Amino acid sequence: MSKDIVLAFSGGLDTSFCVPYLKERGWAVHTVFADTGGVDAEERAFIEQRAAELGVASHATVDGGPAIWAGFVKPFVWAGEGYQGQYPLLVSDRYLIVEAALERAAELGTRAIAHGCTGMGNDQVRFDLAVKSLGDYQIVAPIREIQKEHTQTRAYEQKFLEERGFGVRARQQAYTINENLLGVTMSGGEIDQWQAPGAGAVGWCKPRAEWPAAPLRVKVGFANGEAVSLDGEKLAGHKLLAKLNGLFAPYGVGRGLYTGDTTIGLKGRIIFEAPGLISLLTAHRALEEAVLSKQQNRFKPEVARKWVELVYEGFFHDPLKTDLEAFLASSQSTVHGEVTLETNGGAVNAVAVESKHILNAKGATYAQSADWGVAEAEGFIKLFGMSSTLWAEVNRG
């Protein structure tokens, strides 16, 4: 008899392979696609059609936009740091996908969960640790299983599907592509070989030759560090981020080529495109720089880096992450205001900041005017540098 299993499904090569593979081993496969906002109506329809043609027992599509905003985007923007100073954690929707899959498993009364993660990447760690943190489940990972016998895994998957009458989309033969509300990541092919990306390694961001001639300006409004409006219009967070993606992608904002230290110890090289998220980080940082104290601005990145490492490495449900988020939330109590962003293409800058919490000194402006005297300035310098100048005097020689 068939046993029910829930498969986190994207319609790509790996998860498409998982369906017939699991069915041939006696599973009744129920697919779940957590739509976190990175696909259009055509792609969403393709995913549903793909599940049907593969012969799944049932398919469910879940709206994950609100969850990914509240569960990841908001604290990530509060943190304000990319992994190793660059990567904006674009596959953090994995944790929301896990939650959607477990909800479907509860509806079906099964405790068997499957995913299409490989045995070489970080996603397997994120997926497995999230599942283990949320309950006692059987985890089945078909791609890890076939890697025990096959070294050219993607070629094997493609042949496996084609022998059973299932086609493979052309670009999925060359690259692993992930899209969601946060952005796009691409790996595989020449990217993995530290070579220049090929013509097919293109996501949302337009190349320089296609950037609009006129500059783009938008105003983002924040309350308690959370983006709440765009050009004066109040918007739900996930819809605001989607609009920023649409506005800044034509200008090539947020595209990067990055090599990182992965959880499992390998070097991982990817192209990422995050026009909306990078723009949001830029606006939030500019506002924080103006309204937080010097000590807050100095210390906060240390907390942020640890929070980012936990999320990157799969510890999304670790209690330390919750502890760090309590600090980050507290730091946002005065992060209210509006920031004007501008781009001429490629980079985005915060060109204006408006907030009643900007730490302006009434009688002084940096390098322009002061409400203290020369003697006070000289006394400050003498005391502030006492240790260094004493060392120089004692050891001068």
Tell me the per-residue pLDDT of 165-207, one tens digit each, with 9 for 90 and over: 998 876 555 787 888 999 999 988 899 999 999 988 989 999 9
Which pair of structure tokens corresponds to residue 146?
A: 């076939």
| Cα–Cα distances in angstroms (integers) from residue 136 to residues 126, 132, 296, 319, in the given order | 16, 6, 40, 19
Determine the pLDDT at residue 159. Answer: 94
Which pair of structure tokens corresponds to residue 118?
A: 């490989």
Determine the pLDDT at residue 190. Answer: 94
Percent of the chain with pLDDT over 70: 97
Label residue 314 by pLDDT band (50, 70, 90).
very high
* Contact in structure between 174 and 148 (CB atoms under 8 Å): no
Label residue 2 by pLDDT band (50, 70, 90).
low
- Which domains are assigned to the chain? 3-173 (3.40.50.620), 183-354 (3.90.1260.10), 365-397 (no CATH)
- Helix 94-108 crosses helix 123-134 at what angle (to 10 degrees)? 40
Determine the pLDDT at residue 31. Answer: 98
- Does 119 score more than 90 pLDDT? no
Task: Indicate whether this model's pTM tops 0.75.
Answer: yes
Query: Could you read off the pLDDT of 125-150 as tens digits, one per residue?
Result: 999 999 999 999 999 999 999 998 88
Label residue 151 by pLDDT band (50, 70, 90).
confident
Q: Which of 37-41, 81-85, 173-177 has the highest mean pLDDT?
A: 81-85
Determine the pLDDT at residue 170. Answer: 62
**Residues near 147 by beta carbon (within 8 Å), at least 6 away in sequence:** 118, 119, 120, 153
Query: Could you read off the pLDDT of 266-302 as tens digits, one per residue?
Result: 898 999 999 999 999 999 999 999 999 999 999 999 9
**What number is the average pLDDT over the span 234-261?**
96
Query: Could you read off the pLDDT of 52-72 as tens digits, one per residue?
Result: 999 999 999 999 999 999 999
